[in-house]
Copies of this chain bind each other. A is one copy, B any other.
Amino acid sequence: MQFTLGLLDIDKTHYSPVYLQIANGIIGHIQQGKLKPATPLPSSRMLAVALNVHRNTVVAAYDELYAQSWVDVFPRKGIFVAANLPDVSSRPIPTTVRLDGYPEKTYFEIDENRVPPADFFKEIAGQNLHINTGMPDTRLAPIELMVREYRRFAGHHFTHKYLKYGPEQGSLNLRTELARFLGESRGLQVTANDILITKGAQMAIYLAAQVLLSKNDIVIAGDPGYAGANEIFEHAGAKLELVPVDEQGMDIDAVEEICKRKKVKLLFVIPHHHQPTTVTLSSDRRMQLLELAKKYRFAIIEDDYDYDFHYSSTPILPLASADYYGSVVYVGSFCKTIAPGIRIGFMIAPKNLITQATRLRRLIDRQGEQLLEEAVANLLKNGDIGRHLKKANKIYHERRDIFCRLLHEKLGDKVSFKIPDGGFAIWIKLLTGINPTELADKTEGMGLTITDCGDYFYNATSQPPYMRLGFASLNAQEIEQAVEIIARAIDKLS
């Protein structure tokens, strides 16, 4: 193939020098095989005219190519793609790492069927309504407050402090404000030193698991339960022991049975609104659980990611507020408070664990986003978060009531459910023998995408007739439409 100008795409405004763009462009085409060995290249004068650059620029490019052995130069003949190139087949990124043993080694020993489906977080096509697994409504997210804080940063010289490397444990301002907030909202008596700021509750669970667990350690979790945490424990090499979850939450007698037989290292619990069933762990069981943790010396990860969203009755204070022994690692998040895409979470734990987790955090990503952490600290300090929560709780409370009323009215004989005290979702049981996946497939074509089916949360191999339906991200009118579609879909399937 001849050299043609079309091969070169020069951008004079680009920060990379033009001569280098020319050289790299030609190298790229040699590597891709578009320019074969020994192909003549145009003279520097011709190319300069054609590209509308100074001739010296092309000379510099050719010098570069020569220095890197991509071209041969023959006096009075001209310049040619080198006859003997290194191994220059085209270089798209190879599809496999060729390490001894690597392709065979399955790093993640995960049953693909237990991994969230690829469309778990998919964008919803077209105009379909979307019932997710229980997410806040991003239309209510106080993004304008976040932006206000970022604008403030732009005008202040102190901002430069936050553009440097910062504390691995997280912004001191944020930890200080958070300690106050957690005391007022949850009765937790903590100081800034007891807190590690993370990227969502997810990272807090990951860090705790990595620090606490060794290979083959036993971890207890609920069934059904939060598969995202279970994956973390299995990845850390632990063995899961699952206990049933009933209408008072995790079955603590079943926990004790396991403790009697085996050395348990860790227990994972979402006591406030259990994921996925939304049930609250009763006070009695909480005390029983803390006693067991003390007796059998296991750690508890208390995931309290949606404590701030509670609509009926009094929220029960966290296990962590009654832990006098040092068993509890308390994990929380602002991802639901502001928006899932705003990744701020935290871990509260005894100091030796915070120290170890902070060290691991430094290895993973050094630190969080300081500007984001400072922005959230300001929003906490001036009460914006509190006001937003008040407003959002009112709206979600209403949406929960509308959703439950309509489910009852339109589907009363086809589903059963308990009204959740808080959170973003209803856990419903299909009474009609209809398979949840079939139902979701049916509604998909009728204008309603239901992303999450209950089976993801279950350890069972057969599909249980449960679905977790998020109500919080739909407004009243959308809820009405959604329930209407579900009702019609069930009719068609029955």
Residues of A whose CB lies within 8 Å of any CB of B are: 11, 13-16, 20-21, 24, 27-28, 31-32, 64, 67-68, 86-100, 102-103, 105, 107-108, 110, 121, 123, 135, 138-139, 141, 143-144, 146-147, 150-151, 153-154, 159-167, 183-187, 189-191, 194, 198-200, 202-203, 206, 211-212, 214, 231-232, 235, 263, 265, 283, 287, 297-299, 308, 314-315, 317, 321-327, 339-343, 348-353, 356, 359-360, 363-372, 383, 385-387, 389-390, 393
Q: How far is the CB of A21 from chain B (nearest CB, A)?
A: 6
A13 x B93 contact (CB < 8 A) = no
In the complex, the chain B residue whose C-beta lies closest to that of A100 is B297
**Bound CA span A418–B203, Å:** 42
Q: How far is the CB of A382 from chain B (nearest CB, A)?
A: 11
B151 x A151 contact (CB < 8 A) = yes
B342 x A163 contact (CB < 8 A) = yes
Q: How far is the CB of A289 from chain B (nearest CB, A)?
A: 13
Q: For A144, A184, A372, which residue has the most chain B Cβ atoms within 10 angstroms? A: A184
Q: Beyond A14-B184, A103-B352, is A360–B108 a contact (Cβ under 8 Å)?
A: yes
Q: List 12 A-B contacts (CB under 8 A).
A: A11-B184, A90-B189, A94-B324, A96-B326, A99-B265, A100-B297, A107-B359, A121-B167, A146-B150, A147-B154, A163-B340, A343-B369
Partner of A166, one of B88, B110, B121: B121
Partner of A287, one of B86, B194, B265, B349: B86
**Bound CA span A372–B356, Å:** 28
In the complex, the chain B residue whose C-beta lies closest to that of A13 is B383
B317 x A202 contact (CB < 8 A) = no
Q: Which residues of B contact A97 (CB under 8 A)?
A: 212, 299, 326-327, 349-350, 352-353
